[in-house]
Amino acid sequence: MTVFKIEWQNNRKSLLIWTIALAVIIVVFMSIFPSMSSSGMKEMMTTKLDTLPQNMLKAFHLNSGPSLVEPTGFFAYIFQYIFIAASIFSIMLGNKMLVKEETDGTIEFLYAQPVSRKKIILEKIAATLSMLFVFWLVTYSVSIATTLFFNDGLLKNKEIITSLSKIFITEFVVLVFFLSLGFLLSSFLKQVNQGISMGLVFIFYLFGIVGDLEEKFSYLTDISPIAKANPAAILEKRMDYPLIGILIGISLLLFIFSIIIYQRKDLEI
């Protein structure tokens, strides 16, 4: 497990920064929620929003899901944007894994270890998956604690935990998809290019918006994992097991392609 330990040592600082940053953002945004329960804000949320153009409501995902004056509905609304940041972290984590040894000049040290290329990439996959799990577990814990704290008796604790658990389980699979996509990019790139990673995340996000706004492009919503895992939509229905199964299957394929490509890659030593 030499590579596994090295990756944890090299990435623990960025993991800590991203985790703390998202936790702080969640706490700050959820601290706004108590003001949503005022009578004036309730009236605006229940009557004024209906006067806005439908396309605007769709673009901001205000046309569906629980009311914003409910803690789970408010959390789902703000978390759709926080999830974009989490997706960027995930794909960036995978993107640099296989190519950084060449750009940092550490590939010779790695090859001096008694490990094969296949073992190198498998340990890197295991390390990043475990980092992603820790990152998401902390984010989930902070989200549950913050939402319960600001609930003020509006919903039962069990209802909040169940709703947020559905969101986090589904969206963790999406993060694994982006991680595997980052690995695939890393397997054939010659140097770290985080611009491509961020661009892919935003393209998938825009696919969801365009698909919602234009019916003739609705198929774009189906190929956008960010749109399919929209928190408000998740709260409205049961666990989408077919979606979870498809994303896990695609992620496995991307990891397998990454292993095959990396084993045949001409490394610059």
Q: Residue 43 falls within a domain, yes or no? A: yes
Q: What's the confidence (pLDDT) of residue 19?
A: 96
Per residue in 166-206, pLDDT (tens digit) is 999 999 999 999 999 999 998 888 777 778 888 999 999 99
Q: Residue 101 falls within a domain, yes or no? A: yes
Per residue in 53-70, pLDDT (tens digit) is 666 666 666 666 667 788
Look at residue 239 and tell me whether its pLDDT is greater than 90: no
Residues whose CB falls within 8 Å of the CB of residue 21, separated by 6 or more in sequence, listed in order: 85
Helix axes 71-95, 157-188, angle to 10 degrees: 20
* Residue 228: band (very low, low, confident or very high) from pLDDT cuts 50, 70, 90: confident
Sign of CA dihedral 84, 88, 93, 98: positive
Structural domain containing residue 138: 3-264
What value does the mean pLDDT take over residues 100-119? 72
In sequence order, what DSSP letters do the residues of 106-120 get, joined into one string? -HHHHHTSS--HHHH
Q: Residue 110 falls within a domain, yes or no? A: yes
Q: Residue 269 falls within a domain, yes or no? A: no
- Tally of domains in the chain: 1
Per residue in 113-136, pLDDT (tens digit) is 777 888 888 999 999 999 999 999
Q: Residue 155 falls within a domain, yes or no? A: yes
Look at residue 252 and tell me whether its pLDDT is greater than 90: yes
Give the whole-angstrom CA distance, residue 24 versus residue 47. 32
